[in-house]
Amino acid sequence: MIMLKPCPFCGDEHPEITSGDLVMCGTETCFGNNTFDLWNNRTPQPHIMGLVWTHKTPSVPGWYWGRYPHILDLVMVHVGQEAIARAEFMPGSQWAGPIPEPREPGEEG
């Protein structure tokens, strides 16, 4: 029996094997060679762990994580001032961001 660890990103304690080489939870997908080892050895990415999903549409230009109804994958979207002004966002979408720029090595956060 294959034992999968909880998702380190969303905390889902019961990720599911949807086919022979695909593991999914509430927000994450993992597939390919050595899928189960990859899943069990993933670690949260500190640069995005402070972001929280919201249905509130972006109000500041920048890069955002986006998640859309009926689309399994997360997407990274650049939201410009024009899109904000026209409110061109898919109904039911969720957003996390803006994503902060990375620091140079040795820079203080």
Tell me how far apart the alpha carbons of residues 58 and 22 are, in angstroms, rounded to a whole number: 32
Q: For residue 29, which of 15, 44, 49 has the smallest C-alpha distance?
A: 15
| 5 or 55, higher pLDDT | 55
Query: In the prediction, which pLDDT does 82 show?
Result: 84
Domain ranges of the chain: 1-44, 45-102
The strand pair at 94-96 and 75-79 is best described as unpaired
Question: Is pTM, for the whole model, over 0.75?
Answer: no
Tens-place pLDDT, residues 24-47: 666 666 665 667 777 777 665 555
Is 17 in a helix, a strand, or coil? strand
Q: How confident is the model at residue 104 (pLDDT cuts 50, 70, 90)?
A: confident
The proportion of the chain whose per-residue pLDDT surpasses 90, expressed as a percent, equals: 0
